[in-house]
Structure 1
Amino acid sequence: MASIAGKKSGLVWAVHISVLVLVVLWLLPTAGLFISSFRTADQIATSGWWSSLFPQEQNLVLRAAAPSAQKQEGSLYVLSGNILADNKASAEMNISAWGTSSRAIGQYAPGDTADLGESGRVTLQANGDYRIESNAEFTGSRPPRLFVTATVPPKFTLDNYRHVLLSGSTTDSMANAFFNTLTVTIPATVIPILIAAFAAYALAWMEFPGRALLIAAVVALLVVPLQLALIPLLRLHLAIGIGKGYLGVWLAHTGFGLPLAIYLLRNYMVGLPRDIIECAKVDGATDFQIFTRIILPLSFPALASFAIFQFLWTWNDLLVAKVFLIDATGETTVMTNQIVELLGTRGGNWEILATAAFVSMAVPLAVFFAMQRYLVRGLLAGSVKGG
């Protein structure tokens, strides 16, 4: 019955459900990071991103007006105003409880008057209006504090992105790291593709002594651990005068990416129709003309596939950048290293970390979806091969 036309077997449904579960598992953290990047520090500290669309109760520490704003009414000295406006908080907040100590935030209800002993008394309303009375003049430079529990409406802000992208702070800004990462990633993606395309064509369609050994060497290099080659390669760079810098990291990424690129492109080019190449040779085309006018257009799916993976791998790389780039001054710091620095210096500022992490994800996501369209087009263009 499972083979009847129009019906799907249980295995097909299991595959679909598994794919759906995997998509959801990958999508949820990304959505959470995206939403958190638009939330304030207080919202992140008190509630999860899944509740960001609903009003939340938060415990806030708010300060009244400074002692310089006091007014004398008879024998009393009075501080009054709206504590939400004084702290630039949302006027839509609704105070449900308050207190004069962090140990007893919910001691008083809105409208109650708290006795401060010799210091006086304070009254706080639900809308934030307060009145602090004292028999003695308020002194000092710091205004009195009130601890409140307020219902905060949903709020999203672009301040996190302004701070991360436009701030002049070298410790928090991702703008410089963003351009440094582009400087590393674009050449480290283009260079291995150019070299691998020529090498793959030679290994696929050109006859020369030792070709089989070269193919075997390429396959063998696929299993060389990246960590094993880092220090010897760095010592080689220092010995020949390259040192640490963009050139060194470009060459490192090129060397680590070439074996896989050559292997993938060579296997794809071998599967191209031999008749097309033979006809081109009969018509007098050179190997370079065949490569540029026939092989490269037909190999676009493989080229796009490797470009996507090389770009993503290079963009998200931290280890190679740590070894081959000098980042002590911050002038060549890439985004992955900048996020590590933020974890150390701003570990409590989750809104900054979430924004920085999503900024680092935005470009790979955009590149993947943009290249995916061209990849599908290339697959369709190369799927029909002439005889």
Structure 2
Amino acid sequence: MQEETARELERLRREVLMAKEELRARFQFYFRVLREKHLEVEAQLDEVVCVTDAKVVDRQNKLDQLRITKAEVTQNLVYNELNVNLVDVSRELDNEIQGLEAIIDRVSSVWLEWHDGWLEGGMAALCRVVEGVSCVNRHKPVWSGIMYGEGSDEILAPLCLSIDRSNGDIYVCDYLLGRIQVFCNDGSYTRTVKLQGISFPSDIVVTPHQLFVKCLLPDGIYKLEKVSGEIMCKVETEYSISCISADVDTLYTGMREVNHIAHHSLEDLSIIKITVLNSPHLTQDTRLRRLRTTPSLFVVLFKCDSLIQSFSRDGNIFQVIASQELLTNPSHICLDRHQNIVVSDMGAHNIKVISIEGHIVTTIGHEGTGPGEFYKHLGIDILTRRVVLL
């Protein structure tokens, strides 16, 4: 009896050992299968990541090209001689922009800001950043970016800007939407000034108590109430006005065809006097494009010749500051606290600082979208010790 029990136990032990061996073999088989599946899935994920990365790069390239195309379309609308109906052009551009928006989603339009002390030193740390932070200087964010779009706190087609010296507010012409967007000096949205009965704002000047806007439809210079946008009065002149500037008690308008500067009362925009610019460097094709004033001088940027000259208050030439040898396609100018001329050279994709005597102080940036790079910047102004670039 004991022998049979022992034999039975031995048989069961052998069966258990065989079952364990079979389980070990199955475990090893399934482990190999799972490992092969893991390697296969990992390879597939690597392939998906590579494809996704390629699509992201391709999308970014398309986005950059669309941004360039949109800027060129807007720029051509502003600076070409317009002999077509502006309403029809605006409608066509709106259709194009809607098509672009479906592809590029929401793109940042950014501020660039720096202190003019760094400006004079060469601005080596200037960085441009899209999406969120518009300027990084010495690794410190300065201003937040302003989003592209048609929302109340966004900008669809920024064209030019002006700073209210009384409180630092920044007024930006949203050209295609026919409105003025107002931001605090930290870049945060404040309010929208809606234009009433006028559209396509292309130049702007802000004084502590007044807002003056140049519009293309109907063409003219308008004095607006700073909050409501209500038209208070309009400049009446037989000539086409190309630009505006102002000091504490006078509005100045540049007359494109005749290169005259009209002095207007800030109250009713009536003409006080007209200064005729006298210079041997002005030709029949020279057109007054931008104007800035100092207590004793007019600083004028002329179209066609890329020429910047200063004139005395009686209109006589004082100095040729810059010409085509220095500038490619200057679009805007402003003056810093040292009376240097800060030039937005759109054709060269950089910023040039030129002394009133005509000497280059520094050149900043080059073409591109990376740190310290620019592409067709459209507006420039100075707030205390800061330069704001659009």
Bin of the TM-score, shorter chain as denominator length = under 0.3
Per the normalisation by structure 2, the TM-score is 0.22
Of the two structures, which has the highest relative contact order with CA contacts closer than 8 Å and spacing of 6 or more? 1
- The structure with the largest helix share of the pair is 1
The structure that is strand-richer by fraction is 2
